[in-house]
Amino acid sequence: MNKKNESIDIEELSYEEAFDELIALVENLESDEHPLQETMKLFERGQELTKRCASLLDQAELKVRKLDGGNLVDMEEQ
């Protein structure tokens, strides 16, 4: 992950952008050794990206439910 990504407001990212950055961040943490302080910053950014992705997925599900009239069936129930 580079400094450019750290300056981007997470709330402005699309799901795809947030997810791609999260994948890159995880790969970065897995492949390199970082000082503790930098690792903590990366971890915090990863937590925020995870929250953003979850929020966008929740919003998409709500929209689909509204469009479907609330008639969606959970996959496990089928």
pTM for this predicted structure: 0.76
Q: Is residue 45 part of a domain?
A: yes
Task: State the CATH number of the domain containing residue 31.
Answer: 1.10.287
Q: Is residue 2 part of a domain?
A: no
- pLDDT tier at 25 (50, 70, 90 boundaries)? very high
Average pLDDT, integer, range 13-22: 96
Q: Is residue 3 part of a domain?
A: no
Does the structure show a pLDDT above 60 at 2? no
Which letter, b or e, does each residue of 4-38 get, where b requires 16 or more Cβ atoms within 10 Å of its Cβ? ebeeeebeebeeebbbebbeebeeebeeeeeeeee
- Between 54 and 70, where is the model more confident? 54
**Structural domain that includes position 32:** 15-68
- Between 45 and 34, where is the model more confident? 45
Q: Is residue 5 part of a domain?
A: no
Q: Is residue 41 part of a domain?
A: yes
Residue 61: per-residue pLDDT: 87
- Count of structural domains, the chain: 1
Q: Is residue 75 part of a domain?
A: no
